[in-house]
A = this chain, B = another copy of it.
Amino acid sequence: MPDAPAAPAPSDASSPLVGVVMGSKSDWGILGPACETLAELGVAYEARVVSAHRTPDWLFEYAEQAEARGLRAIIAGAGGAAHLPGMLAAKTLVPVLGVPVPATMLNGVDSLLSIVQMPAGVPVGTLAIGKPGAINAALFAAQLIATTDPALRARLARRRDERRDEVLAQTLP
C-alpha cells in the first residue's frame, strides 16, 4: 500500500466532510475519540455543540445547511432521552450516525433505545454505547466517503492491517 500517511486534518476544517455534533461540551470525553479517528484518517471534519433541547433552532439550522455545506455524514452523540441524532435525520438527507452517550444512571441503555428505535422513514445508523461507538462512527463515516475516495480507502485498509497485526503480535502471560 504505497499511499503515505495523511496529514491530520485541522480540527475545524474549512470544508468539512463530516460534522461531529454533541449536546454539550461535557460529551467531549466520548465524542473526542471520533474526532481523533477522523484526523488520523485525514478526513476533514468540524466539531460543534448542538443541543436538541436547549438549542432546537440551531439544531434545525445546522441540519438544513448540512448538505449545502458539503457534509457527507453527520456524527451525533447524545445521552439520556437522546433526540439529537433523530431530529437531525428528520431535517436532512445527509446520513446521520448516532452515538449513545452513557450520561445517566441507566448506562446508556436509554440513549441507545432513544437513538436506534427510529420509525420507518427516518434512519439513524446507530453505533455502540460510548467511546467504541464514537470511534466506529468515525470509521463508518470514513468508509462511506471512501467508496468514492481511493486514497482514503487505502488509509482505512492500512489501519485495519495494523490493528490485525497488533492482535497477531500480542502474547499472553
Give me the interface of A with B, judged by CB distance under 8 Å.
11, 23-25, 28, 32, 47-49, 51-58, 60, 72, 79-83, 86-87, 89-91, 93-95, 97, 102-132, 135-137, 139-140, 143-144, 146-148, 153, 156-157, 160, 163-164, 166-168, 170-173
Contacts and interface: CB of A to CB of B under 8 A. Distances in A.
Q: Work out how many copies of this chain go into the complex.
A: 8
Given A72-B147, A125-B125, 12 more contacts: A11-B172, A25-B172, A52-B87, A53-B119, A54-B121, A54-B166, A56-B90, A58-B167, A93-B156, A105-B130, A114-B114, A123-B140
A126 to B, nearest CB: 4
A128 B83 CA distance: 15
Contacts of A111: 117
A162 to B, nearest CB: 10
B121 A53 contact: yes
B117 A128 contact: yes
B94 A143 contact: yes
A143 B123 contact: yes
A49 B72 CA distance: 31
A19 to B, nearest CB: 12
Contacts of A146: 93
B168 A58 contact: yes
B130 A127 contact: no
Which among A113, A136, A163 has the highest number of chain B CB atoms within 10 Å? A113
